[in-house]
């Protein structure tokens, strides 16, 4: 595997350097050839700015971008050999959908038969063969978005940039196309970076996810790592649905056992060997910590800590139960219809292997389960 795209110390300021808005802060990232990367984050986190710097629509304030062995941050978009699907579709309004898709291939003077074959292939994949003769303004937003996606995917570029590629699609179609697009990209050995705020999309499509917040790359890892070992409190609470439960806790040693005081008279007590010695030492040294546990990992157990139900929602395939717990609210997910009513007392158990511990001040992960982060 070779590194196709390398971002080194990339900064973006809107306005004067060091004075303007610092939209992207010191991003370092290696993307391997053939990888699908998702830039995941909420609005204004810098993910689109990062993408546009790679495309060449935004100047890079500092740092270097290396693509396929060439430093490209100073090159105009035309010389970077990247393809892009835009969030606003940006189809050329004066030509048909089909011509839009074939545009770059025709400009590159590919034989007509080859262009037609490629257009057929990509439009069949995206289910838009029936609108090829229509004009962009006369088709729906979802169709325009797929046409824009087709226009990018049909190209034989070093890197494909997809900005919110499926935001306008209906849920069923989105699920179907996710699989097809991934297959299409993988089959051709293309490298793609997609920007999304939909974590399901990121998890389903991407080999690795780059979580961004406030212009800072929070974590760049596989979906599994991000789920099992979030690098910090932000990643932990941002990725995962419903979000991770977080409580402030104070760790102390109680007769050899590790006790976590959650306030409000609530204690969680763990056996001496529940955590690795270094984890235990760290927790006792830090004392004040943030404790995170995913809703799927919270189990009801008659011997558990007490909580009082405030909501019980059946979503058709799972129950979301919210309960007051310690000084906050805990959410747990059960796969069957839960037989609890609002006001009921329940007891929950937080297993040591499911606990994520974060630094109280910096939010950096200290431990995941029994092991150090």
Partner 1 sequence: MNTISPFETVLRGIAITLVILFFMFPIFWIVLMSFQTNATILQVPPSIFFEPTLQNYRGLITGQLVTDTSSLEIRFMSNLFNSLFLSTASVAVGLMLGVPAAYAFARLKFRGSEDIAFTLLSFRFAPPLLVLLPLTIYFQQLGLANTYGGLIWVYQLIVLPLILWIVRGYFEDIPADIEYAYRIAGHRWWTTFRKIALPLAGPGIAAAALLAFIFAWNNFVFALVLASADKQPVTVGALAFITASGVQYGQIAAGIILSIAPTFALALYAQRYLVEGLSLGAVKG
Q: According to the binding rule CB under 8 A, does residue 107 interact with partner 1?
A: yes
Q: According to the binding rule CB under 8 A, does residue 169 interact with partner 1?
A: no
CB of 31 to partner 1, least distance (A): 18
C-alpha to C-alpha distance for 149 and 78, rounded to whole angstroms: 19
Contacts to partner 1 from residues 75-94, by CB under 8 A: 76-78, 80, 82-84, 86-88, 90-94
Q: Are 23 and 36 in contact (CB under 8 A)?
A: no
Q: According to the binding rule CB under 8 A, does residue 57 interact with partner 1?
A: yes
Q: Which is nearer to partner 1, 191 or 199 (CB)?
A: 191
Question: The tokens 């805990």 sit on which residue?
Answer: 330
Pick the closest to residue 192 from 170, 169, 210 (CA basis). Answer: 210
Out of 36, 51, 55, 67, point to the residue binding partner 1 (CB under 8 A).
Answer: 55
Q: Which is nearer to partner 1, 78 or 341 (CB)?
A: 78
Q: What is the DSSP string of 317-329?
A: S-EEEEEEETTEE
Q: How far is CA 77 from CA 26, 148, 196, 323, 350, in A?
A: 22, 18, 22, 53, 52
C-alpha to C-alpha distance for 155 and 266, rounded to whole angstroms: 59
Q: In what order do the strands lie in the sheet with 371-372?
A: 266-270, 257-263, 245-254, 288-293, 356-359, 365-368, 371-372
Q: According to the binding rule CB under 8 A, does residue 59 interact with partner 1?
A: no
SS3 content of the chain, % helix, strand, coil (to 5): 30, 40, 35
Q: Are 330 and 298 in contact (CB under 8 A)?
A: yes
Q: According to the binding rule CB under 8 A, does residue 20 interact with partner 1?
A: no
Q: According to the binding rule CB under 8 A, does residue 355 interact with partner 1?
A: no
CB of 92 to partner 1, least distance (A): 6
Q: According to the binding rule CB under 8 A, does residue 16 interact with partner 1?
A: no
User: Which residues are paired to 324 by β-bridges?
Assistant: 308, 329
Contacts to partner 1 from residues 291-320, by CB under 8 A: none
Q: What is the DSSP string of 16-62?
A: STTTSEEEEEEEEEEEETT-EEEEE--TTSSHHHHHHHHHTSS--SE
The footprint of partner 1 on this chain (CB under 8 A) covers a number of residues equal to 28
Q: Which is nearer to partner 1, 90 or 259 (CB)?
A: 90
CB of 19 to partner 1, least distance (A): 14
Q: Is 92 helix (H, G, I), strand (E, B) or coil?
A: coil
Q: Which is nearer to partner 1, 104 or 204 (CB)?
A: 104
CB of 103 to partner 1, least distance (A): 6
Q: Which is nearer to partner 1, 76 or 171 (CB)?
A: 76
247 CB neighbour count, 10 Å cutoff: 21
171 CB neighbour count, 10 Å cutoff: 9
Q: Are 245 and 292 in contact (CB under 8 A)?
A: yes
User: Which residues are paired to 208 by β-bridges?
Assistant: 37
Label residue 276 exposed, middle or buried (CB < 10 Å: 0-12, 13-18, 19+): middle
Out of 17, 74, 108, 281, point to the residue binding partner 1 (CB under 8 A).
Answer: 108
Q: Which is nearer to partner 1, 9 or 20 (CB)?
A: 20
Q: According to the binding rule CB under 8 A, does residue 104 interact with partner 1?
A: yes
Q: Which is nearer to partner 1, 150 or 297 (CB)?
A: 150
Q: Which is nearer to partner 1, 168 or 237 (CB)?
A: 168
Q: According to the binding rule CB under 8 A, does residue 137 interact with partner 1?
A: yes
| Binding segment toward partner 1, per CB under 8 A, in 25-33, 100-108, 193-201, 352-360 | 100-108
Q: Most distant CA pair in the chain: distance in Å?
A: 80
Q: Which is nearer to partner 1, 156 or 250 (CB)?
A: 156
Q: According to the binding rule CB under 8 A, does residue 174 interact with partner 1?
A: no
CB of 303 to partner 1, least distance (A): 58
Q: Which helix (H) or strand (E) holds 144?
A: helix 141-153
CB of 89 to partner 1, least distance (A): 8
Strands 82-85 and 298-314 come out as unpaired
Residues that bind partner 1 (CB under 8 A): 55-57, 76-78, 80, 82-84, 86-88, 90-94, 103-104, 107-108, 136-137, 141, 148, 151, 155
């Amino acid at each position: 595997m070779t590194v196709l795209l390398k971002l080194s110390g990339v900064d973006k300021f809107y306005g004067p350097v060091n004075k303007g808005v610092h939209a992207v802060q010191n991003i370092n990232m290696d993307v391997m050839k053939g990888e699908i990367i998702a830039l995941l984050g909420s609005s204004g986190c810098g993910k689109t700015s990062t993408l546009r710097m790679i495309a060449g629509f935004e100047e890079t304030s500092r740092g270097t971008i290396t693509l396929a062995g060439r430093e490209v941050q100073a090159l105009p978009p035309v010389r970077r050999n990247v393809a892009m699907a835009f969030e606003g579709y940006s189809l050329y309004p004066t030509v048909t959908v089909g011509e839009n898709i074939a545009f770059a291939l025709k400009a590159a003077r590919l034989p007509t038969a080859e262009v037609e074959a490629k257009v057929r292939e990509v439009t069949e994949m995206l289910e838009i063969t029936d609108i090829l003769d229509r004009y962009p303004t006369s088709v729906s937003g979802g169709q325009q978005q797929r046409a824009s996606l087709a226009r990018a995917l049909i190209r034989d570029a070093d890197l494909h940039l997809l900005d919110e590629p499926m935001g306008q699609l209906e849920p069923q179609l989105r699920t179907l196309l996710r699989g097809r697009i991934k297959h299409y990209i993988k089959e051709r050995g293309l490298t793609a970076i997609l920007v999304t705020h939909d974590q399901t999309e990121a998890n389903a499509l991407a080999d690795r996810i780059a979580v961004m917040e406030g212009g800072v790359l929070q974590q760049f890892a596989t979906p599994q790592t991000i789920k099992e070992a979030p690098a910090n409190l932000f990643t932990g609470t941002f990725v995962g649905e419903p979000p991770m439960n977080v409580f402030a806790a104070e760790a102390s040693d109680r007769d050899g056992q590790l006790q976590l005081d959650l306030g409000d008279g609530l204690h969680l007590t763990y056996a001496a060997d529940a955590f690795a010695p270094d984890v235990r030492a760290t927790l006792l040294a830090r004392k004040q910590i943030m404790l995170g546990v995913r809703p799927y990992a919270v189990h009801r157990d008659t011997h558990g800590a007490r909580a009082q139900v405030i909501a019980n929602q059946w979503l058709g395939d799972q129950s979301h139960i919210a309960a007051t717990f310690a000084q906050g609210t805990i959410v747990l997910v059960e796969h069957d219809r839960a037989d609890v009513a609002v006001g009921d007392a329940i007891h929950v158990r937080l297993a040591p292997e499911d606990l994520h511990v974060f630094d109280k001040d910096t939010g950096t992960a200290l431990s995941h389960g029994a092991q150090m982060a």
